[in-house]
Chains A and B, each alone.
Chain A
Amino acid sequence: MKMKLLSSLLACISLLFVGCEYDNYEAPKSTLSGRIVYEGTPVGVRNNGPQLELWQDGFPLRSYIPVFLNQDGSFAASLFDGTYKLVRKGDSPWLQQATDTILVQVKGNTQLDVPVMPYFTISNPSFQQNDKGITANFTVNKIVNTANLQFVRLYIGKFILTDQGQQELRVDANLSLISFGQPVSMQVALPDNLKNLDYVFARIGIKSTVSNEYYYTQIQKIALK
Chain B
Amino acid sequence: MKLRLISMGIAMFAVSLLNSCNHDDWFDRESKTLITDQQLWNDPKLLTSLVANYYDRLPTLHGVFNTGGMTELDDAMWSGHRDQNWRNDFQFGDDYGRYWDYGLIRDLNLSLENIAKFSTQLSDAQRKQYNAEIRFIRAFVYFEMVKRMGGVPIVTTQLIYDFSGDPTPLQVARSKEHEVYDFIYQELEEIKEDLAANNASKTRANKYAALALESRAMLYAASIAKYNNLMASPITTTGGEVGIPANMASAYYSKSLAASKEIISAPFALYTENADKGANFYDMLNKKTGREVIFAKDFATSLKVHRFAYDNIVRSLTEDNESSSTISPSLSFVESFDYLDGSKGTLHTKNTDGNYVAYSHIDAIFANKDARLYGTVIYPGSTFRGRAVSIQAGVAIWNNNKYQLHAAAQLGQQLKDELGKEYAGGLWTGFDGPLYDAQDVSNTGFYIRKFVSDAPAASTRGTSAANWWPWFRLGEIYLNATEAAFELGQVADATGYVNKLRERAGFPANSVTNLSMDIIRNERRVELAFEDHRFYDLKRWRMAHLVWDGSENDTNAVVYGLYPYRISRPGHVDDGKFIFERVRPARFRRARFFRMANYYASISQDVINKNPKIVRNPFH
Instruction: Say whether A and B bind each other.
Output: yes
Chain A positions near chain B (C-beta within 8 angstroms): 48, 62-64, 89-91, 96, 98, 148, 150, 164-167, 170, 208-213
Interface of A is mostly: loop
Q: What are 20 A-B pairs at a CB distance below 8 A?
A: A48-B91, A62-B608, A63-B605, A89-B619, A90-B596, A90-B618, A91-B595, A91-B619, A98-B616, A148-B232, A150-B232, A164-B549, A164-B551, A165-B551, A165-B552, A165-B590, A167-B552, A211-B233, A212-B595, A212-B596
Of B605, B608, B619, which one neighbours A90 at CB under 8 angstroms? B619
Given contacts A48-B91, A62-B609, A167-B552, contact A209 B619 (CB under 8 A): no
Pairwise interchain contact B552-A166, C-beta atoms closer than 8 A? yes
Q: Which residues of B contact A48 (CB under 8 A)?
A: 91
Report how far A211 CA is from B233 CA in the complex, Å.
8
Which positions 592-620 of chain B face chain A at CB distance < 8 Å? 593, 595-597, 605, 608-609, 616, 618-620
A211 to B619, CA, bound (A): 10
Chain B residue, CB-CB nearest to A64: B605
Other CB < 8 Å A-B pairs besides A150-B232, A210-B233, A211-B233, 14 of them?
A: A62-B609, A63-B605, A64-B605, A91-B597, A91-B619, A165-B590, A165-B591, A170-B551, A170-B553, A208-B232, A209-B232, A210-B232, A211-B596, A212-B596
What total of chain B residues lie within 8 Å of the partner, measured CB to CB? 22
CA distance A89 to B602 in the complex (A): 13
Chain A residues with CB below 8 A from B591, complex form: 165
Could you say which residues of chain A place their CB within 8 Å of the CB of B618?
Answer: 90
- B297 near A: Cβ within 8 Å? no
Q: How many A-B residue pairs have CB under 8 A?
A: 45
| Smallest beta-carbon distance B565→chain A, Å | 23
Query: By CB atoms of chain B within 10 A, which of A90, A96, A209 has the most?
Result: A90
Residue B98, interface by CB 8 Å:
no
> Which residue from B91, B233, B549 sits with its C-beta under 8 Å from A209?
B233
Bound Cα distance A164, B553 (Å): 10
- Residue of B with least CB distance to A92: B619
Interfacial chain A residues near B550, Cβ < 8 Å: 164-165
Closest to A48 in B: B91
Question: A69 vs B328: C-alpha distance in the bound complex, in angstroms?
Answer: 34
Asked whether B461 is an interface residue with its Cβ less than 8 Å from the other chain, the reply is: no
Q: How far is the CA of A212 from the CA of B91 in the complex (A)?
A: 14
* Chain A residues in 8 Å Cβ range of B619: 89-91, 96
A209 to B616, CA, bound (A): 23
9 smallest beta-carbon distances between A and B, as pairs: A209-B232, A210-B233, A91-B619, A90-B619, A91-B596, A165-B550, A212-B596, A62-B609, A91-B597
Bound complex: CA of A62 vs CA of B612, how far in Å?
12
Interface check B288, CB cutoff 8 A: no
| Shortest Cβ distance from residue B171 to the other chain A in the assembled complex, whole angstroms | 15
Which residues of chain B are within 8 angstroms of A213 by Cβ–Cβ distance? 595
> Once the chains are docked, how many angstroms separate the CA of A212 from the CA of B551?
12
Interface check B577, CB cutoff 8 A: no
Chain A residue at minimal CB-CB distance from B552: A166
**Distance, CA A64 to CA B553, complexed state (A):** 34
A166 contact set on B, CB distance < 8 A? 552
Interface 0/1 of B273-307, CB less than 8 Å to A: 00000000000000000000000000000000000
Considering the complex, which residues of chain B in the window 69-95 have a beta carbon less than 8 Å from any beta carbon of chain A? 91
State how many angstroms separate the Cβ of A193 from the closest Cβ of chain B: 12
| B545: Cβ under 8 A from any A Cβ | yes
Cβ-closest chain B residue relative to A208: B232
Chain A residues, CB < 8 A from B232: 148, 150, 208-210
